[in-house]
Amino acid sequence: MMSSIPKWWQTIRIAWSKHTAYRLNFVLQILGPTLVFFFVKYNLWSAVYSTSPETVIKGYTFQEMIQYHVWALVVGLIAQGHMVVNLSEEIRMGRISAYLIYPFNFWEFHTADFLAFQTMQTLIALITIFLIGLSAFLDVPSFQLILTGMTYCLFVSLFWFTLQYMTGLMGFWLEETWMLRVTLRMIAGFLSGAILPLELYPEKLVTFLDYTPFPYLTYYPIKIFTGQFNQFGQAYLVMGLWCLVFIVINKIIWRKGIKMYTAAGM
């Protein structure tokens, strides 16, 4: 176990220089879509609330609604940023062959890569909070709230990583997993509260969603940042269990997939 620490550390260092090799691309890929999405939402809600500034929709004032979406952006940055990495491509193009030969496993390599990515991403999220805090959009919460919120977001990112790893492993069977990943993200975006606050949905749906992992992906993390949620035990338990489930499934899929892997194109 101890002997693998230098392996992980070196992989993380390499991943940092790899991710920053194309600096502009990195920033655009991660920050670009999120920011564009945020401005679409901002303009939309400005229009909705424009008739009278005092309007309250499902308990949200205009200011609160915009804050909700700022936090949705931050949560997305920390928890879902790594989704841009396409694992199935590595399988389909036979690039995993190299990892099958090195005495360092495919999952180890990608988990290290994920960790490296997350540290950079957390930094970007902090800068984002700071910058938006400078503008009037956001009342910057206490340091403690930021810390609790970010810690939980990092935990959620683990959920996304295990799930994304699973869609990646589908590359053993599917030629292209792009549609699968996009569909998954869209559904999750909708049901997790990343697109609209869950209060805006029918009550029955919200009650049902509470039994799924979805609200824990965006809605509750936002509420942690705004200080409106404190059932941490439950939140960590739900995410932790799902991660565990995915890890077990991933192990099974890997074992089955590697048997039929043909290393095409190598």
Name the residues that contact another protein, by CB under 8 A.
Answer: 3, 6-7, 9-11, 14, 17-18, 21-22, 94, 97-98, 100-104, 258-263, 265-266
| Nearest distance, CB of residue 96 and another protein, angstroms | 9
Question: Which of 79, 156, 69 is closest to 125 using CA atoms?
Answer: 79
Least distance (Å) between residue 143 CB and another protein? 36
Q: Would you say 168 or 193 has its CB closer to another protein?
A: 168
Count of beta carbons in the 10 Å neighbourhood of residue 116: 21
Which residues 6+ apart lie within 8 Å of 69 measured at CB? 38, 41, 42, 45
CB of 250 to another protein, least distance (A): 17
Shorter beta-carbon distance to another protein: residue 4 or 231: 4
In whole angstroms, give the CA distance from residue 174 to residue 225.
39
Reduce the DSSP state of residue 63 to 3 states and report it. helix
Least separation, in Å, of the C-beta of 111 and another protein?
Answer: 15
Question: Which of 10, 230 has the CB closer to another protein?
Answer: 10
To another protein, the closest distance from the beta carbon of 170 in angstroms equals 16
- Residue number with CB closer to another protein (173 or 208): 173
Contacts of 13 (CB under 8 A, 6+ apart): 116
3-state secondary structure of 54: coil
If the CB atoms of residues 101 and 179 are measured against another protein, the closer one turns out to be: 101
- For 55, the enclosing helix (H) or strand (E) is none
Number of C-alpha atoms within 13 angstroms, CB side, residue 191?
A: 17
